Amino acid sequence: MQISVGDLTFDADRYGTPGDRPALLLHGFPETSASWRDVAIRMADAGRDVVVPNQRGYSPGARPTGTDAYRIDLLVADVVGMLDELGFAAVDLVGHDWGSIVAWYVAALHPDRVRTLTAVSVPHPAAFGWAIREDDDQKKRSEYMTLFRQPGKAEDLLLEDDARRLIAMFSGAADPTIVSQHLPVVGRRDTLTAALEWYRAMTRDFADLPSVEVPTTYVWGNQDTAVGRAAAERCAQHVTGPYEFVELSVSHWVPEDDPDRLADEILAR
């Protein structure tokens, strides 16, 4: 299916029966909507109407040029626009990696549109930002962002030698087929540039995001190479509503490493 928001058209997958309790699942970098397939099927089997879009830059019809086109306020507006177009007053919102950051923003700034939030891997942006500034372990884990923010150089390094470094990002994942799901999309230079613009548009404003008041579950894999324990455990300080922290023995790629458990946590919330 396709979802039109303004002059952008987002490709999306839909699972379940329209009209059932709706959920919107947001993918991260360097992945696509395919990362949610197994989770979405499980949720649909449980009676949910599940929509999984390819976000800004990943959908050919929603790939504007220029860093300013990937500011967080625009990424948030995309999600709200999708909900409007789909006729969803409120949803169970789920995000992984960058999709998690967008989901935190939507939940904090538009709580009336979010019935529940399940954030996967990346904690509340204020907690993550604090860890990047104050925690030596997280500083090391986040060094890759310096490369990603360099136009041209990042694309060259990630795509050379048949995308060897891009593929290596999935090391530690339990499912070896992950790369084949996403590389045909993010392995293209135009898509990769658009995806990296999310990092290049990132600012220090993350620390200013208000706390989230909607019922929230945060799921973190303790084998995650990108997000350490300090950031994960600090997340609780930025949720004022009902909150649960779920720690799994998996890598950063939680939706593909343990889709059944993740679906259970989303449904439980």
pLDDT digits (tens, 9 = 90+) for 65-79: 999 999 999 999 999
pTM: 0.96
Q: Could you tell me what percent of the chain has a pLDDT over 70? A: 100
pLDDT band at 83 (very low <50, low <70, confident <90, very high): very high
Total number of domains in the chain? 1
Q: Could you tell me what percent of the chain has a pLDDT over 90? A: 90
Mean pLDDT of 109-129: 97
**Full domain range(s) for residue 36:** 2-268
Return d(Cα 46, Cα 182) in angstroms, integer.
26
Give the model's pLDDT for residue 254: 96
Give the model's pLDDT for residue 123: 98
Q: Which carries the bigger pLDDT value, residue 18 or residue 122?
A: 122
Give the model's pLDDT for residue 145: 94
Provide the mean pLDDT of the chain.
95
Count other Cβ atoms within 10 Å, centred on residue 66: 10
Give the model's pLDDT for residue 173: 78
**Structure confidence by residue, pLDDT tens digits, 8-49:** 999 999 999 888 899 999 999 999 999 999 999 999 999 999
Return d(Cα 143, Cα 43) in angstroms, integer.
35
Kindly report the CATH number assigned to the domain that includes residue 248. 3.40.50.1820
**Structure confidence by residue, pLDDT tens digits, 153-206:** 999 999 999 999 999 988 777 777 888 899 999 999 999 999 999 999 998 777
